[in-house]
Amino acid sequence: MSDNDDTTPAQYASPPCFMHELDPTFQQPLSDWSDVRRWRKAERERLIAARLAISADTRTKMAKRIAEGLDAAIGNVAGKMISLYWPFRGEPDLRGWMESVNERGGRTALPIVVEKGQPLIFRAYRHGDRLERGVWNIPIPAEGDPVVPDVVISPIVGIDPDRYRLGYGGGFFDRTLASLPRKPLVIGIGYEMQRIPTIYPQPHDIPMDVVVTETACPA
Ligand SMILES: Nc1nc2c(c(=O)[nH]1)N(C=O)[C@@H](CNc1ccc(C(=O)N[C@@H](CCC(=O)O)C(=O)O)cc1)CN2
Ligand SMILES: Nc1ncnc2c1ncn2[C@@H]1O[C@H](COP(=O)(O)OP(=O)(O)OP(=O)(O)O)[C@@H](O)[C@H]1O
């Protein structure tokens, strides 16, 4: 049987798909937003479950290191309006540090979901102020005019080497950062285990300026 006998299938040295011969780091990029969205949903679930599997004691120790990293990244907090968050789903609990900012002459705020698909607003909050339940039952300051933060501290679900953040999927921080009247210093907060090779950044994703985890040097 000859190679040019067109009644039989052609013989190849390799199968027609060479993908398996390529370096495993060269993967087909997820180019379709619906694929990226599906991938992000699964990755969020994996990362949140992994975070919740860390003991509360270990999380507390890591939050202390993160608070030190925040001081290093921000410097003097006096006169600054710093937005934080009310921790849930295993996020680092920085409420002690939040109070220390107020004791050092800074001010703090919490984010409020006004409506799905809209930017967050921020209201000043410190320990003792009245809270009420907001969307998803997250506590929010009960009163006060919106404030504009100088520093936005954003809890991450995942983070990639270009400091693109994976959040809970509402797009709230991206919309908020895109809409603020002046650009704040944006700090992503999380644990080292939340670092991932890529989040497949999309045009709407806005990278963090700094990432602070429990390791010593902010990067
Ligand atoms: N502690 C904390 N507070 C925060 C945030 C945060 O990341 N951490 N946010 C930062 O943005 C805002 C709340 N963002 C959230 C976004 C989505 C879901 C959520 O549960 N989403 C649904 C599915 C989302 C959808 O597809 O519509 C879910 O997971 O079941 C919760 C909070 C404001 N407050
Ligand atoms: N500036 C924006 N304008 C309009 N839509 C936006 C904007 N930013 C994000 N979105 C939309 O929000 C949705 C969720 O985005 P994404 O997956 O990036 O959320 P996330 O960053 O994980 O969530 P979150 O910030 O709430 O924690 C997407 O459909 C995205 O198109």
Domain boundaries, the chain: 32-212
* Mean pLDDT along residues 70-98: 98
Mutate to test the pocket of ligand 2, among 48, 174, 194, 200 (most ligand atoms within 8 A of CB): 174
ipTM over 0.85: yes
The CATH-assigned architecture of domain 32-212 is 3-Layer(aba) Sandwich (3.40)
Please report the pLDDT score of residue 3 as a whole number.
45
Radius of gyration of the chain (CA): 22
Bridge partners of residue 146, in order along the sequence: 123
Sign of CA dihedral 60, 136, 113, 210: positive
Please report the pLDDT score of residue 4 as a whole number.
47
Q: What are phi and psi of 132, to 5 degrees?
A: -135, 170
The C-alpha atoms of residue 49 and residue 107 are separated, in whole angstroms, by 32
Bridge partners of residue 133, in order along the sequence: 139
Task: Specify the range with the lowest mean pLDDT, choosing from 19-23, 55-59, 181-185, 206-210.
Answer: 19-23
pLDDT in tens, 87-141: 999 999 999 999 999 999 999 999 999 999 999 999 999 999 999 999 999 999 9
Question: Any residues with Cβ below 6 Å from ligand 2, and which?
Answer: 40, 166-175, 178, 204-205
- The helix or strand, by DSSP H or E, that contains position 159, with its residue range, turns out to be strand 158-159
Instruction: Identify whether the C-beta of residue 166 lies closer than 8 Å to the C-beta of residue 156.
Output: yes
Please report the pLDDT score of residue 2 as a whole number.
44
Amino acid letter at 135?
Answer: V
The C-alpha atoms of residue 125 and residue 138 are separated, in whole angstroms, by 14
Amino acid letter at 180?
Answer: L
Looking at the chain, the whole-number percentage of residues with pLDDT higher than 90 is: 84
